[in-house]
Amino acid sequence: MEQVSPMAVPHDSHETSYLLPPNSKDWEGHGIPDFVYGQEELVLEGIQWPRDAPGLPEDTVPPSRFDSVLCSAWRQRVELGLFRYRLGELQTQTLPGAVGFVAQLNVERGAQRRRPQSISSVKQAFDPALFNFNKIRPGEVLFRLLREPDLPGALQQEDILVMINVSPLEWGHVLLVPEPTRGLPQRLLPGALRAGVEAVLLSSHPGFRVGFNSLGGLASVNHLHLHGYYLAHRLPVEGAPSEPLDPGGHLHLLQAVPAPGFLFYTSGPGPDLEALIGRVCRATDYLTDREIAHNLFVTRGAPPGKTSPSSALTGVRVILWARKSSFGVKEGEAFNVALCELAGHLPVKTSQDFSSLTEAAALALIQDCLLPPAQAEEVRAALVALIAQDEQ
C-alpha cells in the first residue's frame, strides 16, 4: 500500500524551485535551493495531537511552509527512484503495557541500509576516504536551511543541507548536515543542534522529530548529521514526568520512559533556546571527551515536572541519553537501540519479531545498552556540576 504523507501538501507556486528538473542530466547544474526562514515561522503555540490520535493530523493541522516544501520535494525523490527502497505504509502497533512503545515493521531498512562504518572511538576523526555526504548523488539534497540574520543568536550563519535518507525509517526522513565540505566528525555542535530544534519549530506537525546518534551510539556515518522524520504517533518522552536535578531547574531526569534520560526544555526561540543549546552541547562534549556514547532526541513536548501523556505540547524537549558504546550492528536483535528506540519508537526488522515483540522484551534490549548504575550516577553528578557552573 502506498505511504500517505503526514499532511495534505498544497502544490502552489513557491514549491517549484525545490523540485528537480525531470531529466536527471540536468540535476548537477540545478543548484541547491535556499529555504530562508525568519522568527515568525517558528511555530510556538497551538500544536497539538488531534483528540483521536494516534493518526494523521492532516485534517486538523495545516502544513507549514517548511512541511509543504520538505514533503513535496521528498515525494518527488520517491517518484524519481532516489531511495534504496520505496517506503510503503508501515505496519504499526502500540505494544501493550505501561510504556506505550510504537513498533513499526520496516523490513527493507533492516535488509537494504548501508553497512555502518567501522568505528572504534566516540572521538574518531573524519576520514574523507570513507563514505561521507560529499559523495552522495545529485538530487539527494532537497534544500539549504538558512536562518535570517535577525534571529536571536545568529551571529554565525550555519549552512545546513537537508537531504534525503536513502534508507528511510518513516515518511519524510531527512538528514540535516552542516556544510559537508568542512569534513566535520559526528560530534554535536551548537549550530547543528540549533538547526535541529528550529526545524521542529518550523513544522506544524506534532510528530516531526529530530535526533542525533554519537559514534558508538549507532551513528553509521562519521560525518556530522542529525536525523529528522515524521511519525504520526505520540511517543512516551513527550509527556513523561521528570524531576529536577539542579536548583535552577535547567536539567531534569526523565522518568517512566524506556530509559532514564536527561531532559532539557525550552518554550521557544530567544535567550532561553540559546542557553539550552549551550547546556546540551557542554553535556555532549563532556560525554564525547570521556568516550561515552550518547543519543539525543528533539520533540515537541510538555514542560518538565509532573506531566501526563495528554499534556500540552507547549515547548521543545531535548532528551539526552548516555549509554554503553556499541560498535557495529547486532544482527540477531529485533531492533538496534539508538535515538528513536530510546524515545519509544521501535523500527523492527522482521515480521516474526514484529508479531512476537513484547514490552518486556523491548525494555530488556534497551536496558542492556544503558550504562552500569555506578557509571550512570557518575555521569549524572558530572552533568549537574556542569550546569551549576553556568549559574555562577
pLDDT, tens digit, 9 for 90 and up, residues 255-289: 877 899 999 999 988 889 999 999 999 999 999 99
Report the alpha-carbon distance of residue 47 to residue 49 in Å, rounded: 7
Q: Percentage of the chain surpassing pLDDT 70? A: 86
> Can you give the pLDDT at residue 312?
79
Amino acid at 68: S
Which of 114-128, 306-320, 376-390 has the highest mean predicted lDDT (pLDDT)?
376-390
> Can you give the pLDDT at residue 327?
80
- Listed residue (120, 228, 121, 134) closest to 184, CA to CA: 134
Q: Please state which of the ranges 89-103, 117-131, 326-340 shows the lowest mean pLDDT.
A: 326-340
pLDDT band at 52 (very low <50, low <70, confident <90, very high): low
Give every CB contact of residue 287 below 8 A, 6+ residues apart in sequence.
Answer: 122, 214, 293, 294, 322, 379
pLDDT band at 94 (very low <50, low <70, confident <90, very high): very high
Burial zone of 377 (CB within 10 Å; 0-12 exposed, 13-18 middle, 19+ buried): exposed
Over 60: is that where the pLDDT of 58 sits?
no
Q: Mind listing the pLDDT tens digit for each residue in 360-371?
A: 999 999 999 999
> 322 pairs with which residues across the strands?
294
Evaluate whether 211 touches 186 at the Cβ level (below 8 Å). no
pLDDT band at 53 (very low <50, low <70, confident <90, very high): low
* 225 among known catalytic residues: yes
Whole-model pTM above 0.85? yes
CA angle 127, 130, 134 (to 5 degrees): 90
Amino acid at 198: E
What grid cell was written down for 99? 510504556
pLDDT band at 1 (very low <50, low <70, confident <90, very high): very low
State the Rg of the chain over Cα: 20
> Can you give the pLDDT at residue 35?
95
| Active-site residue identified among 173, 205, 225, 345 | 225
| Over residues 337-348, mean pLDDT | 96
Give every CB contact of residue 291 below 8 A, 6+ residues apart in sequence.
Answer: 121, 122, 123, 216, 325
Over 50: is that where the pLDDT of 247 sits?
yes
> Can you give the pLDDT at residue 392?
63
Q: Please state which of the ranges 146-155, 175-184, 212-221, 349-358 shows the lowest mean pLDDT.
A: 146-155
Amino acid at 18: Y
